[in-house]
Amino acid sequence: MKITDFISAGFSSLLLILAFPNYNFWPFAWFGMIPLFIAIHNKTPLQSFWLGWAQGILFYLGTLSWIINTMVNYGRLPLSVSIFLLIVLALYLGAYTGLFCFFLSCFSHPKVHKWLAASFIWVSLEYVRAHFLTGFPWASLAYSQFNFLSVIQIVDITGIYGLSFLIVFINVIFFLILDYFYSFQPEKMELSIFGNYVGVAVLLIFVTLGYGFWKNFSFGSRTGKKSLKVALLQGNIEQNHKWDPAYQKMVYKTYQDMTLKAAESDPNLIVWPETATPFNFSSDIVNQKKLLQLGKESNSNILFGSPSYTERRKDITLFNSAYLISPEKKVLGRYDKIHLVPFGEYVPLKKLLFFVDKMVTGIGNFGSGTEYTVFSIPDAKLSVLICFEVIFPDLVRRFVKAGAEFLVNITNDAWFGKSAASYQHISMVVFRAVENRRPTIRAANTGITGIIDSRGKIISQTDIFVRDKIIGNIFPENNYRTFYTLYGDIFAIAILFCTIVYGGFNFYRGKRKQRWKKNRSISNS
C-alpha cells in the first residue's frame, strides 16, 4: 500500500461527510465512494480492510463529532476522555467499512464481476450495524438524500436499504466507467459486461425516479382529505435549568403561556417536547391538576413528555413517557419509550459494567416500555416516538401497523448543542414519514421542530436554540398501508441472505480451486 491509497480513502470520507447534514451536498454521495474503490483496486483483502477502516474512521469522526459536546457538557466528562470515547466509537463503526472492503476484495467469480457484490455487501453490513448491540443506524448512506424527494419515495417498498443499495451501485458504475477508459484493473472489462452494468444502472434510475414522480404527485394533492390542525411548541429551555427546582415554575409557565397563545388558533392537538414537564406527571398531584386544567383552558388535546414510574412490590421502575390529555381534563393514555439510549438512559450489561455511569445526567436508570401505543383524538389516531426511537425504521412501522394515522416525534436535542446533529436527526424523520406514508410532526426543546408530510417534504421548521412554535395542518392517512409498513426490512434481509449464500459459494469455490491446483502440482511432480 502507498500513502496515496490512504489519501484517496480519506478523500472518499470527505466527500461522504459533505453529503450529510448540515452540509447537504447530497450529490456527493453518488460518487463519493469512487476514491475508496480506486484505493482498494488490486489489493489483497487485508490491505483493503485497512484502507476501508481508515475511510470509515475518518467518516464517523467527521459525522459524529457532536458527541464530544454531549459528553463534555452533559456527561461531565473531561475533554480528553470524550475525544477518546469518540475515537473508540469511530473505530467500531469504521470497522464496518473495513469489512465491506475486505469482503469485496474476496469475491472473484469469473463470470460475475466482483463489483456486482458491492451493493449487496454494503447493505448487508448496514443492516447488521442497525441491529447489532441494540443498533446504531445513524448516518446510514440513504439519509444523505433526504432533500432529494423524487429518489427517496422508493423507501416505502425497500426501506432505506434499497436507496443505499442504489447509491453504492451507481458509485460502482461510475468507477467502472473510469476503469473502462483508464484501466485501473489489471484486466480491462469486456465491453458486453460493461454495457450490461450501465444498462442496469439506467434502468434502476429510471424506475426509481419514475416511481418517485408518481408518488410525489399522488401524495402531493390531499383534495378531499380531512385536515388536522396542530401546534408544536419549542420552549428552548436550557438543559441545566430543566430539572433545577429553582426554575420549575419558570419552565412550566413558559409552556403554559405558549399553550394558551397557540390555543387562539384553535388547534386539534398541542404538542410539547420530550420530558417538557419539570416534574413527574404521574406522582406530582398538584402540578398534574394544573396541567389538566390547562387542557381545559386551551380547549385542546395536549401531548407532552414527562418521566413516569410504576411500583411493583416496592420495586420502582422509571420510564421516559408521553401523555395525552383532553379538554375534559382526562388522561387519554400514556406511552413508555421502548428503545432506550444506551449509556444515556440505561447502562447495558450493568453488572459487568458496574463502573460505568450514564453518559448524561438524568433522574435514574429507565425501564423499557413494551406497548406500541396508539392514542385516539377526535378524527385521528396517533403514535409517539420519543427522541432516539425515530431512527429505527422497523420500530416505527409497528406503530403504523397498529393503527397510527400520523406520527409524533418528541425530542430534546439540547444534548447535541449547536452542531449538525439536530439536522441529521430530523433528516432521518423524513424517511419514517415516507416509509409509512404518514405525516410526521416533531416538537423539540431547542429545535428542530417541524412538520413533514407523507412525501417526506419538510413543510415548516424552526431554527435551533430559539423559542418558537409552529401551527399548521396535516392530513392523517387512515387506510393506506405501504409494503414497508406491512413487511418491514424484507429487502435488506433478502440481500443479507443472498450475500451469505453467494459468499459461502465463493469461499467454497476458492477452496476447491486451491485443492485442484495443489493436486495438479503433485501429479505433475
What are the catalytic residues?
274, 337, 387
**Contact (Cβ atoms closer than 8 angstroms) between residue 478 and residue 268:** no
Rounded CA gap, 454 and 473, in Å? 13
**Contact (Cβ atoms closer than 8 angstroms) between residue 280 and residue 361:** no
**Contact (Cβ atoms closer than 8 angstroms) between residue 91 and residue 55:** no
Cis preceding-peptide flag for 22 (omega within 30 of 0): yes
DSSP classification of residue 227: P
Q: Which of 30, 17, 29, 10 is nearest to 177 (CA)?
A: 30
Distances (CA, A) of 112 to 41, 107, 109, 273, 394: 16, 9, 5, 52, 33
Rounded CA gap, 251 and 103, in Å? 53
Rounded CA gap, 448 and 296, in Å? 28
Distances (CA, A) of 243 to 77, 247, 340: 20, 8, 20
H-only helix segments in 307-392: none
Q: What backbone torsions phi and psi does residue 435 show, to the nearest 5 degrees? A: -55, -35
H-only helix segments in 29-129: 34-40, 45-63, 67-73, 79-106, 118-129
Rounded CA gap, 152 and 106, in Å? 31
Rounded CA gap, 423 and 421, in Å? 5
Phi-psi category of residue 159: left, alpha or beta, with phi > 0 → left and psi -120 to 50 → alpha: left
* Cβ-based neighbours of 162, under 8 Å, separated by 6 or more: 154, 155, 491
